[in-house]
Each structure stands twice: as structure tokens, then as C-alpha cells.
Amino acid sequence: MPAWAQGHSVHRSGSHGRGGPRIPAGFGELSGDVIDLTVGSGHRIVEGRRGPGIAVNGSVPGPLIRLREGQNVRLNVTNNLETDTSVHWHGFLLPFHMDGVPGISFPGIKPGQTFTYEFPIRQSGTYWYHSHSGLQEQSGHYGPMIIDPAGAEPVQFDRDYILLLSDFTVLDPHFIMSRLRTGEGYFNRQLSTWTDQYPMSAEERRMWAEMRMMPTDIMDIGAPTYTFLANGRGPTEGMEYLFRAGERVRLRIINGSAQSFFNVRIPGLPMTIIAADGQNVRPVEVDEFQIGTAEIYDVIVTPGEADAYAIVGESMDRSGMALAMLASRPGARAAVPALRDPPLLTMGDMGMNHGSDGMDHSMMDHGGAAADAAAGEMDHAAMGHSDPAVPADAADGAMAGMAMGGMSMDGMMMRDTTLLPPDVAIGPGIDMVSMAPTDKMGDPGLGLRDVPHRVLNYRMLTALEANHDTREPSRLLELHLTGNMERYMWSFDGRMYSAVSDVPIRFAWNERVRVKLINNTMMAHPIHLHGMFFELVNGESAEHQPRKNVVIVQPGASAQFDLTANEPGDWAFHCHLMYHMHGGMMQTVTVVGPGGGA
Ligand SMILES: [Cu+2]
């Protein structure tokens, strides 16, 4: 046992201290009925840069926990930090007091204390675990889990690998949070160069400035503040997976980052998606997919005769990439593609899109070659009137009409709160209201709407096994995702978690509900429900709507899921961008038990 893991003999540094022992990248494997985990702190060095570290069993990521469906597991978690910690078993069906969310499921784990989780394993697939305390995920408190099925796997494979994507910073995450609250764009390297690359009219400049945003503000934090990691290793640190030509390789890809979306591709190698958030889907072949924070996709690839293939996890803002290699021999390396041009936000991403198909074909994603054209297109296409059948003057007329309807392009633009239902709390926590949010289940995500190959979107996901409950939902619950970029306030229905932590969203026992999430912000939010799977309303039959527990709600758009409320207790429901959750975008969901109590 490394010295740092021996609680009695180790100096307990602060939870995000940069002192203490060096924490290595990569992880071992644990299995069995009793698993012992120790949370401790130290420092990490990624590509020569030293940053804070919180490790589980001495590594980042923490150990792979590999269990089998049908077993019972006891997990003893010892806290060697100076602050409280917790472990949340992401995506697990379990008794709610084993879910690991301080303040909702249990009080948390005090320094020096050991907490024992125990629950039966009722599912199979790829999952992960992470801290639900403070900002500890940013410093490395996360790890992968695999639950092997009780029966046969639905697909065959020769190799089985985990690719856990994350983001590393040398900064204390509390410093990042405070800077996000005081200076939007501080961590966005694109800001200073944007106006040079893409000339704007004075009007456009004023609109973006009034929102304290730029069209490139699609992630709160990018490189170089972040270095993107593959299994804890930076892009130059040699993460590789061995293969022989013709083998079927299963890659279990987990987005374990604090705050990053990735666009994943393997140039020269198509990927067959076989599971989403741990749940089997009908195999679907793509060349690229976007993975939001906390999402999981299992893919099968069949490498050919090439010496190596690059697995590229490009950050959504294209400021950097996580990188690993499929290698036919140790050290084999493929060419790494350059970062693509950053995508641009559009008026469609402000909920002004009138597009029909859930797709926004406006000025987005034209890349550098079309940048000049894009700037010119902004007047019309960017307003959502990209349909060439709509004459420009008609489009302008529509805009004028909307302006008369309450929207002003001046002052507090795009904040017509009369568009919100009466149960939304109107206040300084809302700086934008989507005017015409459309369902974007068919949207592959920012930066991927115009790429010249096959890209996954939620409409392509189909549950492999039929869903148990195919009842029509008996009610529609509409929830608005709301925020104030400048003050970094985030919320559901205008209420930050601190204001509603005692006022849960209640579901009756076994109630079948359709939940509609409407994004009144310009950022994509990966919304996560604990303790249950929901089914994306993506055009599939009720029997085969894909089961997930994270759904990305695109900027200015809506997304829907159906839920059978059959796991009693109190569950966290939140944006999985860690700084958004910490900034208030979280609620408690209570499922009333069959006897009437929680
Ligand atoms: Cu969010």
C-alpha cells in the first residue's frame, strides 16, 4: 500500500492541495463481493504541469470496479481527505440511501470516516463512479465500472478496453469557480482572436456583447486551462490499446470530465455503437459522435492492417484533444489530425431557430473556409431564416414582428419572460428566454452538423431489449433550464438549488411521466437523473425508445424523455457540468413509494 493511502500515517492535505505524494495516471482492477476504496489527496503531473489531485486507491482515474449482474456488493469507502467526500455510483439502480449524494441520500463521509455502501447489482453494462462533494471530480475523484451480464453478451468481441475521458487543470477548482462567477470568458482562449477572424457588424457585436458572450463561447473552459486526458494521460503521454488486425475491439468510452464535451472519432475506422449509458442499443455504425459530460458509449471497432489508429477526443470547442492510440505493437503511432476550426454559435442556439427538422442549418459549422460567408450570412441565416425559400425581406418582417411581440434587440435582449409559464421564478437568474425552442433530438451537437461523414444523433439510438413499461405518459412535466451567464447562476425554472433543496419535484409511485426540458440558455446542458433510466422521446416506438440517464439539451432547444417512477426515494437531478451544478442547476426528485412514503 502506498504511504499516502495509509490514513494514520499520512499528512492530510487540503482536498485540492498540490502537495502530498505524486498520483500516477491509469488504474488497476478490483472485483469481488467486498471492495475497499480509499480517497486521498496528492498532486498530479500531466505533460510536465503540476496540478491538484484527489485519488481513489492512489490513482487517477480510480480503480476499475468490475462486478457481475446478480451479485451483492459491499463497498467500504475511507476518507483520507481533510474535507468531506462521497462516492456516487453513476447510473446504478440501488436503494436511494446508497446513491452517495450528500444532503440527498446520506450525510457524506467525514474525514477519517469509512462509509459502507451495500446493494445488489441489478443491471449490466459500462458505468462509472465519482465524488458528489464540492468540486472534487475536477481533481480526479472518478473511476470506471463494468458490470458483466448474468447471461451472454449480445455482441462478440476479442478485446475489452476502457477509455475514460477527462479534463486536467493546474488550477484549484475553487479558483476556477470564482473566476467563472466574476469574468465570463476568462478561460475561453478563442475570445481575443474571434473578432480578427470573423468580422462582425456593429449590431452583431453589440448583441453578443450584451450577452457577455461570443459566438465561440461553447464551453466555459477550454485549453490551455484544460489538458484533456485519456485514462488520466495527456495527449503526448502514450495511452495505447493493443490490437491484431481483424480483431473486434470493444471500447467503453466514458466522459468522466468535470466540464467538457468531446467529439470522438478514429480516422480510418468506423465505430459501431452498441450501448449508451450502459444500456444495449441496436448496433449503429458512425464515424463520429459527441459525448456530453457523464455520457457513456460502448463501441466496437475492427482495426485493419494499419500499424496504428488515432482515437481522437476533440473538445467541443476544438481548443484541444484527448488522444489515445490503437496500436498493432507497443509504440506504434498513427498520424494525429489537426484540431478543426472552432464551431460558432448561432441565433438558432438562442432558441430563435425556426428550422423544421430539429436541425439547424444556419451559419453553424462552416469552418474557416466559409468564415467570410458565415459573417455575411449572419443577418438572415443566423436568425434562423436559413430556408432559401424565405425572401430576405420577409425574414426581416418576421423579425420586426417578433420585436413588437416583446423581444428587443436592445437592452436586455432575448429576455421576454412572458414566454415562460407562470410557475417559473422570474429574476436575475434568467438572462435569456428561448423564443421558439424546437426539439433537437436529431442534432448531432455543436460542431458536428456539417462534417462530411456519419455522425451519431439521439434519433439513431434504439433500445435493443424492449422496454418494460410502454404506457402512454399520464402527464407532461415541463422544466425550464435557466441561467445568467454573466453572474454564473444556473437553475431549473429560475430557482437555484439553494432555494429549492427542500422542495422536491414529486412523482407518484409507478407514475408514467413525460418530462420536457426547455433550454433557455446558450449552452448545451447534459441533464442527469439519478437512480432510474428514462427513455429518450426520439421518434422510436415506446417499446424501443433508448434508455439513458443523461440527455444533452442543446442550446435554445428542447428535449423530452419518458420516465416510469418506480425507484422510491430522493434522487439528485442535475446538470452534469460540475460548475453548472455547483452554480445551482440541480433539483431533488422524490418518488413516493408504494405505501405513500419516500
Ligand atoms: Cu449545465
What pLDDT, in 10s, does the model give residues 541-554?
999 999 999 999 99
257/166 Cα distance (integer angstroms): 4
75/545 Cα distance (integer angstroms): 33
What pLDDT, in 10s, does the model give residues 21-47?
999 999 999 999 999 999 999 999 999
Cα(400) to centroid of ligand 1, in Å?
31
Domain 3-149 - what CATH class? mainly beta
Same fold, 3-149 and 458-591: yes
Cα(135) to centroid of ligand 1, in Å?
15
Q: What band does 181 get if pLDDT is binned at 50, 70 and 90? A: confident
Cα(527) to centroid of ligand 1, in Å?
7
Cα(394) to centroid of ligand 1, in Å?
35
What pLDDT, in 10s, does the model give residues 482-516?
998 888 899 999 999 988 988 999 999 999 999 99
Q: Cell numbers for 335, please give them.
A: 498520424
Cα(265) to centroid of ligand 1, in Å?
24
Cα(405) to centroid of ligand 1, in Å?
29
Cα(491) to centroid of ligand 1, in Å?
9
* Contact of 562 with 544, CB cutoff 8 Å: no
DSSP H or E segment with residue 497: helix 497-500
| Amino acid of residue 84 | D
373/200 Cα distance (integer angstroms): 12
Cα(575) to centroid of ligand 1, in Å?
5
Partners of 263 in beta bridges = 290, 314
Residue 580's CB: how many other CB atoms inside 10 A?
Answer: 27
CA angle (596, 493, 134) in 5-degree steps: 80
Bridge-based pairing state of the strands 475-484 and 511-519: parallel
Cα(577) to centroid of ligand 1, in Å?
5
Surrounding ion ligand 1 within 5 Å at CB are 525, 575, 577, 580
Give the architecture (CATH level 2) of 458-591. Sandwich (2.60)
Cα(22) to centroid of ligand 1, in Å?
32
Q: What are the structural domain ranges in the chain? A: 3-149, 458-591
Cα(389) to centroid of ligand 1, in Å?
35
* Contact of 315 with 226, CB cutoff 8 Å: yes
Give the pLDDT confidence score for residue 494 in this predicted structure. Answer: 93
Q: Is 378 exposed, middle or buried (0-12, 13-18, 19+ CB in 10 A)?
A: buried
What pLDDT, in 10s, does the model give residues 325-370?
999 999 999 999 999 988 877 766 766 644 433 333 333 333 333 3
Cis peptide before 61 (omega within 30 of 0): yes
Q: Is 582 exposed, middle or buried (0-12, 13-18, 19+ CB in 10 A)?
A: buried
Give the pLDDT confidence score for residue 4 in this predicted structure. Answer: 32
- Sheet arrangement for strand 296-301: 227-230, 159-168, 249-255, 296-301, 271-276, 279-286
What pLDDT, in 10s, does the model give residues 382-418?
333 333 333 333 333 333 333 323 333 333 346 788 8
